[in-house]
Amino acid sequence: MSDARESILAALRLAASRAAPVERGGHFRPPAGGDVVEAFVLKVPGTAASLERLPNAGAVPSAVDAYRLKLGLNGPVAIAPALAKLEWPAELPTAPIRQAELAVTVAQAGIAETGTLLLTSGPETPTTLNFLPDHALVVLNTTQIVADLDAALATLDPDAMPRAVNFVTGPSRTADVEQTIQLGAHGPRSLHILLLTSA
C-alpha cells in the first residue's frame, strides 16, 4: 500500500475514533393544533391549484358547469360514479374519460400541512379521472381534512386497501425542459378543489 494512502486511512481511523455518537430523535412531526380546514385553504394557492367553497354536494353540478364555462371549455365532462346521483344540468355534455377534457372526482382526504389531496381508486372513483383530462375538479368535504400525511394514511382501511393511492399537490408539472415549469406534463394542467362545508 502506498504511503499516501496509508496516511489518509490512518487519519480517517483517528477521526472516526474521536467522533461522539449522534443521538437519534424520534420522527419529526409538525406541531398539532389550529384549524386544519383554514390551514388547508391557505396552502392550496401555493400549489398552483384553486379552491372554491360550496355549502353542500347539491351545489357541485352548477359549480362544475360554471368552472367549465369560465375556462372556455366546450368539450365533455367525465363524472365519477360517486357523483352520478347529483342533479347535473341537462346542457352539461358528459362523456367517458378518454373523450373528456374535464373530470370531476372525489377525494379520500385533504392534508392541511401541504395542501395535498389523497385520491384513491375504486369503482366509484376510477384513477383515470385523476390523470387523463386536461382539467380536474376534486370534491372534498371539510370533515375529510386532516393535519398531516400520517393522519391521511390512517383514513385508509388496511383490510380493503385500494389498488392505487395518489397524493396530488396542485396540477401536474415538470421542469425537465430548460428548467422551465410546464403544467400538464403528466396529468391535468389545472386543478380546482370544490370544498364542501357540509355533506
Dig out the grid coordinates for 109 from the structure: 382526504
Strand pairing category for 173-174 and 182-183:
antiparallel
Q: What is the DSSP letter of 23?
A: P
What's the pLDDT band for 193 if we cut at 50, 70, 90? very high
Q: State the Cα–Cα distance between residues 173 and 165, nearest whole angstrom.
A: 19
- What is the pTM assigned to this prediction? 0.80
Predicted confidence (pLDDT) per residue in 160-179, tens digit: 999 999 999 987 666 666 66
Instruction: Return the pLDDT at 171.
Output: 77
pLDDT of 31 higher than 80: no
Instruction: Return the pLDDT at 189.
Output: 81
pLDDT of 29 higher than 80: no
Q: Mean pLDDT, to the nearest integer, of 32-37?
A: 81
Is 92 in contact with 78 (CB distance < 8 Å)?
A: no
Strand pairing category for 190-196 and 50-54:
parallel
In angstroms, the Cα distances linking 118 to 9, 91, 111, 173, 179 are: 50, 31, 8, 18, 27
Q: State the Cα–Cα distance between residues 111 and 47, nearest whole angstrom.
A: 12
Q: Where are the beta strands (DSSP E) in the chain?
A: 50-54, 77-79, 102-106, 109-111, 116-120, 135-141, 145-146, 165-168, 173-174, 182-183, 190-196
Structural fold of domain 36-196: Rossmann fold (3.40.50)
Q: Where are the beta strands (DSSP E) in 108-147?
A: 109-111, 116-120, 135-141, 145-146
pLDDT of 50 higher than 90: yes
Dig out the grid coordinates for 196 from the structure: 364542501
pLDDT of 20 higher than 80: no
What's the pLDDT band for 30 if we cut at 50, 70, 90? low
Q: Between these two residues, 82 and 20, which has the higher pLDDT value?
A: 82
Partnered with residue 145 across adjacent β-strands are: 110
Least confident of 11-15, 52-56, 124-128, 172-176: 172-176
For the chain, give the mean pLDDT.
88
Predicted confidence (pLDDT) per residue in 83-120, tens digit: 999 999 998 999 888 899 999 999 999 999 999 999 99
Q: Mean pLDDT, to the nearest integer, of 173-187?
A: 63
Instruction: Return the pLDDT at 17.
Output: 78
The beta-carbon contacts of 33-36 under 8 Å, at least 24 apart in sequence, are 36/112, 36/145, 36/146, 36/147
